[in-house]
Chains A and B, each alone.
Chain A
């Protein structure tokens, strides 16, 4: 990490003040649940808030747990809370189920699954998830759209999939990039011991920053633009510093520093679709779903076949990501689905300034065994990963040059940020003593910077991303009967024809689900006590009457391809008379039924 320098020297006893400043300005780290206060500029909302939560702060694991409990306790008619499993270190993976149970149990409604923070350091993913839950619960009965969402849908929300990584990020000294892994010991340097040489907080300020040593022949020098930053000395020119890596010592005496930190794997490479071992996909873990956290999530999703949409929150870069994660998986992404996913992503771009809707392997980097690759490829669920926060948002005017955050130099971004954050993002260079290097200086970015927005942007980030999830949820299938035709073929026999169609963007079965025969096919039935089905099936051609007859014949007609915007016609030829019921069932749509009378 290339970081600026600043000529101010800092003493060790100044560090608490720095932390205090960070805490006061940006409420970044900790807050007591008792301090929760009503929030929002809308006075009407403010007066009606049942569970006051604030979103200009981060919640450590205990505070997050309390906030979730408060939400469930404050909205018992909408929100229930459960643990779907435990982490390596024994923390609960909390899940909120949000729906109006009076309109039907959660499992009978199309559902969105939302999680965050599978990478422990990507902390604000949990706040975004919490915000979504809070916004839905608070606005039920107040905003018509939210009311409809919870009457007709279910939201399953797991704010942190990696509570150990989160706890370690909050409680231990870290960089903004560290504590990504879960906390199962891992032998990074392959010496037979695990986690024996991580960072060391030399100055005790709770931050892991850079180490440098003054050296008249060093190859680094302060930037003339910004003395906090070090830039390479010109060829032939003497610099003034040498860089020594991130704060740490050689804990295990093997001659190397920080080479085996806690954990060392990536839970978002541990899912079964296109899982590849470590030498092909770094961080994969020993085998798919090897970690208690990933297994718990996978088992939860499999136990809820009503889930039709998945949203995973990460940071950072400002991206709405969709699969495939690797070019070799292109065949698992039928065009019909890609068209729908791209349309939802594009709609998201409109709600999320500075975000780009892109494909993981084409526009970011290859990912094998990723979470949303599995939910789409193996379960047929439309799935997105949002990379929360783009440093461009701090300035508002950054030119987007294809790459998120691109367009302007990092230096310009950082200098402008310094003006807005008043230096809270940076620990100035200051002297410490190192057991191997002797007198050195440490300094650089704090862990709450770069990937995490300053507090005044956090609430906006939460809301815009929640809006995207709600939009995605609105696109989950909603099937209606369109036409019903009853034709007498004679005194005893009748042809009953019904047309059903989906009114939203996402069909009851994705093309991938239909192609790979994932989950149960949709089923439509005609049943009546006085009826015998002579033949039945989907009408291939409504004009000629060509029928794809079922085996049997049976009252049940299976619709492997599901129901999309184009109407699906089903016909039964029956003998008999009287009342009958036409019912439609799909895993990812509400059941539908209609009474008919066969004359």
Chain B
């Protein structure tokens, strides 16, 4: 799990620096921070937040709905630009999409934060942001999965939910969504259910029985239980939770390496009420130069490297640099982060791992915890790069628990995995995140154990961490302005060769860091080239073409010399040179003929 390892290395030192002084003084006990979902915006709150930003900055921000979700919620898109977001020429644009996965709500919070900060800074006016919004339009879609998010936040019963609310018939029995998880013990949560099972393969870890792990038969360990999501056989077909509500994973519904035959990827890429308006928006806006998803998959936190990376060799170093800058921005922001302090709760008495009564089951076991590692197959960010050749990446935002700096003489927190999360649960959030396993008499299975992680707490940080995360991502977003490609026409030389013949030459340059077209864009041909036109009414072009297409201008001053020889009638006083490529903008010069 490279992401976690990296997170540990990156986050802990910063947190450590910030808390060093406190740690030495042995901190007084603090109230535990409010855990997710406290402080997170539901549909109504996020809609209101967007509308109030638009109200406050009516020219800078335009909010519109791209479409409606399965359950009829609006898919809000905020577009920011100067001087007027409503009536803009098509200048290069950035698209940020959040909450493709229902449970990734931190994405929405950061997206809303970015909108608010951009608008506020532009109104201030902050020169850096003003110039950014003079050059680019920034489209931000904070919540692509409002139905799933709402379910996640409703909390009755609280259950993990990643998908849209598109009804599926997973067990192909002609009925949809008729057997999902249930809150059996009435504690408000549908958590993990341990069931003793002939086909089991799981065992409670000896050092911390809250941890479920695979039994190691080679060391004589005997499996104890199967893991289910808490629930019963609602439709009396012999299987438990086999047809849960929802849905489609909206970050698996994009055409590149789309997982066909996986019902959760839907029956065609870009077909869902939520994805179709967005894929249409993307393909109808060739000026979008960059796509950034705030989503569970992350392609930026860890430096992209071969052979894992699917980037073209020529593009790889560019993304490595973006990754570096992303981490620098997060580091910078973390310097002012509030300290993580220990707030131990009542450490729950671990239940003794005594065997549950045997209950043979043939039903398919649902995974107890949503996997934190996610695939790139069918992901929006992958498609945007692989097919459209866009600068495109994904960031998860919060990649692991924030732990206090180790106090001298105390054992260091576990480095990885469940134990590290449990350490965070016990020492930082006062034991709120993990519900200890407890016995329960299941209606058909007999005695089972119920417990485990509360939904969403390992994806979404406690709300007190959000401002720092927004700071870091805002910093990186502002950085991008200087990295994106742009077009500059150099000095134009006109040589009069007599008989009305003029030799016109100039140099077209890209002073940005990124090239006008990634190598992948050239391969797929889905990005328009740089089109240079010499407009000479009634003039006769003797050399050069009236339309020059340049596939790619490299970044950091990559350039192309341009030369034309024209024969101009005596009354033609000037010609125009125009260069345009939607993803880097346009430049135009009028050239006097003398």
- Cα-based distance from A517 to B582 in the complex (angstroms): 44
Provide the bound-state CA to CA distance between A272 and B272, in Å.
13
B531 CB-CB contact with A under 8 Å: yes
**A43 an interface residue at 8 Å Cβ cutoff?**
no
Q: How many A-B residue pairs have CB under 8 A?
A: 80
Complex interface residues of chain B between 234 and 264 (CB less than 8 A to chain A)? 237-239, 255, 258, 260-261
Closest beta carbon of chain B to A376's beta carbon, Å: 13
Q: Does A254 contact B (CB under 8 A)?
A: yes
Q: Could you tell me which residues of chain B, from 255 to 289, have a CB within 8 Å of some CB in chain A?
A: 255, 258, 260-261, 267-271, 279-280, 283
> Contact at B547–A287, with CB atoms within 8 Å?
no
Is B582 within 8 A of A192, CB to CB?
yes
Can you list 9 pairs linking A and B with CB atoms under 8 Å apart?
A: A255-B546, A272-B258, A272-B269, A278-B525, A289-B271, A516-B261, A551-B237, A551-B362, A554-B238
Q: Once bound together, how far apart are the Cα atoms of A481 and B221, in whole Å?
A: 52
B275 nearest CB neighbor, chain A only:
A287
Confirm or deny: B174 has a beta carbon within 8 angstroms of a beta carbon on chain A.
yes
A-B contacts besides A255-B545, A551-B239, 12 pairs, CB < 8 Å: A192-B528, A255-B546, A277-B526, A278-B524, A279-B523, A279-B525, A287-B269, A289-B268, A290-B270, A298-B268, A378-B267, A551-B362
Q: Is B387 an interface residue (CB 8 A)?
A: yes
**B contact set with A: CB distance below 8 Å:** 172-174, 237-239, 255, 258, 260-261, 267-271, 279-280, 283, 362-363, 387, 523-526, 528-529, 531, 545-547, 549, 580, 582
> For residue B362, which residues in chain A have a CB less than 8 angstroms away from its CB?
551
A267-305 interface code vs B (CB 8 A; 1 in, 0 out): 000001101011100000011111000000010001000
Hey, which chain B residues are within 8 Å of A190, CB to CB? 525, 528-529, 549
Would you call A191 and B549 a contact (CB within 8 A)? yes
A520–B176 CA distance with the chains assembled, in angstroms = 12
6 A-B pairs with the lowest CB-CB distances in the bound complex, closest first: A551-B238, A272-B268, A286-B283, A279-B524, A254-B547, A277-B387
Indicate if the CB atoms of B547 and A288 lie closer than 8 Å: no
Residues from chain A with a CB closer than 8 A to the CB of B523 are 279
A289 to chain B: which residues have CB within 8 Å? 268, 270-271
Q: Among A254, A275, A554, which residue has its beta carbon within 8 angstroms of that of B269?
A: A275
Task: Report the minimal beta-carbon distance from A153 to chain B, rounded to whole angstroms.
Answer: 23
Best-buried of A191, A302, A520, A554 by chain B (most CB within 10 Å): A191
* CB atoms of B526 and A278 under 8 A apart: yes
| Contact present for B531 and A191 (CB under 8 Å) | yes
Considering the complex, give the chain B residue whose CB is closest to the CB of A274: B260
Q: Give a binary string over A247-263; 1 marks a CB under 8 Å from any B CB, 0 the rest.
A: 00000011100000000
A302 and B528 alpha carbons, distance in the complex (Å): 36
Cβ contact within 8 Å between B267 and A272: yes
User: How far is B531's CA from A286's CA once the two chains are assembled, in angstroms?
Assistant: 22
Q: Are B260 and A272 in contact (CB under 8 A)?
A: yes
Q: Which of A192, A277, A517 makes the CB contact (< 8 A) with B172? A: A517
Supposing A287-B283, A551-B237 touch, asked if A255 and B547 sit within 8 A by C-beta, the answer is yes
B529 touches A378 (CB 8 A): no
Identify the A interface with B (CB < 8 A).
Answer: 187, 190-192, 253-255, 272-273, 275, 277-279, 286-290, 298, 302, 378, 516-517, 519-521, 550-552, 554
> Which residue on B lies nearest to A190, using beta carbons?
B528
Nearest-Cβ distance from residue B410 to partner chain A, whole angstroms: 52
Bound together, the chains give a CA A44 to CA B247 distance in angstroms of 58
**A516 vs B261: C-alpha distance when bound (angstroms):** 7
Chain A neighbourhood of B267, CB < 8 A: 272, 302, 378
How far in angstroms is the closest Cβ of chain B from A196? 12
> What residues of chain A lie closer than 8 Å to B255, measured between beta carbons?
275, 277, 287-288
* Interface pair A290/B283, CB less than 8 Å apart: yes
Q: Is the CB of B546 within 8 A of A520?
A: no
Smallest CB–CB gap between B231 and chain A, Å?
16
B536 to nearest A CB, angstroms? 11
Residues of chain B with a CB closer than 8 A to A290's CB: 270, 280, 283
* A290 to B284 CA separation, bound complex (whole angstroms): 11
Chain A positions within 8 Å of B526 at CB level: 277-279
In the bound complex, CA of A230 to CA of B423 (Å):
85
Q: A372 → chain B, closest Cβ, in Å? A: 16
How far, in angstroms, from A282 to B559 measured CA to CA in the complex?
A: 31
Q: Which residues from chain B contact A302 at a C-beta distance below 8 Å?
A: 267
Contacts of B387 in A (CB 8 A): 277
> How many Å lie between the Cα of A298 and that of B173 in the bound state?
22
Please report the C-alpha to C-alpha distance between residue A522 and residue B329 in the assembled complex, in whole angstroms.
58
Docked pose: A253 CA to B283 CA in angstroms = 27
Residue of A with least CB distance to B545 = A255
